Amino acid sequence: DQQVKQNSPSLSVQEGRISILNCDYTNSMFDYFLWYKKYPAEGPTFLISISSIKDKNEDGRFTVFLNKSAKHLSLHIVPSQPGDSAVYFCAAKRNQGGKLIFGQGTELSVKP
Amino acid sequence: DARVTQTPRDKVTEMGQEVTMRCQPILGHNTVFWYRQTMMQGLELLAYFRNRAPLDDSGMPKDRFSAEMPDATLATLKIQPSEPRDSAVYFCASARGSGQPQHFGDGTRLSIL
């Protein structure tokens, strides 16, 4: 039972354009969502998070949008840079617990 | 920058051998997690500890896996006996508290022949 789903295994974007990575979840008890970025041979690195009391959180070039009614969140990167090329994981949890449920990841390739 | 440290980075061993993976969490972090990443399952939580006490190990095969925190600076994950299906990358992560982002180590790449 995949509670957090990233349906696109890969995404290719031109440098300077917007990258949009999507994530869907099924458990309505999730109330805290995170995005992690992972380079090969390294561990995932925390990127940005959002609580369910918000619908948007912005940090520099990265913005996460949350649509609770659709159980959907997205990560926008603008403008995209070649250094953004990595695997992006969406994760969700219930605020009172520490257990993160991860999606399968989307591999982003930003081409110069 | 403080980092989670995992050893060894790579481990290749034969089926049936005991494997021990170690993790040094970031100083001051009281919650430690063990994850396994495979192509088929993605990143899955095996177990986690808060203040050295195990909170949830429901993701871990109990017959061969064990996780402990002998002290606040060391977490271990053991597999005995190891099997080829245990081949994966094992990540340790730590967090300052339950509501805080988790910081990951670079993983142990385990290959069981």
> Is the pLDDT reported for residue B16 higher than 70?
yes
- Per-residue pLDDT reduced to its tens digit, A13-22: 999 999 999 9
Q: Is A7 exposed, middle or buried (0-12, 13-18, 19+ CB in 10 A)?
A: exposed
Cis ω before A82 (30° cut-off from 0): no
Asked if A76 and A19 count as a contact pair (C-beta separation under 8 A), the reply is yes
- Per-residue pLDDT reduced to its tens digit, A46-59: 999 999 999 999 99
The single residue listed with the structure tokens 């790449």 is: B109
Joined tokens for residue B81: 């006996």
A99 to chain B: which residues are within 8 Å by CB? 45, 48, 56
- Per-residue pLDDT reduced to its tens digit, A58-100: 999 999 999 999 999 999 999 999 999 999 999 999 865 668 8
Nearest-CA distance from A62 to chain B in Å?
A: 17
User: How far is it, in rounded angstroms, from Cα A44 to Cα A39?
Assistant: 7
Asked if A87 and A30 count as a contact pair (C-beta separation under 8 A), the reply is no
User: How far is it, in rounded angstroms, from Cα A10 to Cα B47?
Assistant: 29
User: How far is it, in rounded angstroms, from Cα A85 to Cα A110?
Assistant: 5
B48 to chain A: which residues are within 8 Å by CB? 98-99
CA A50 to mean position of chain CA atoms: 10
- The per-residue pLDDT for A52 is 93
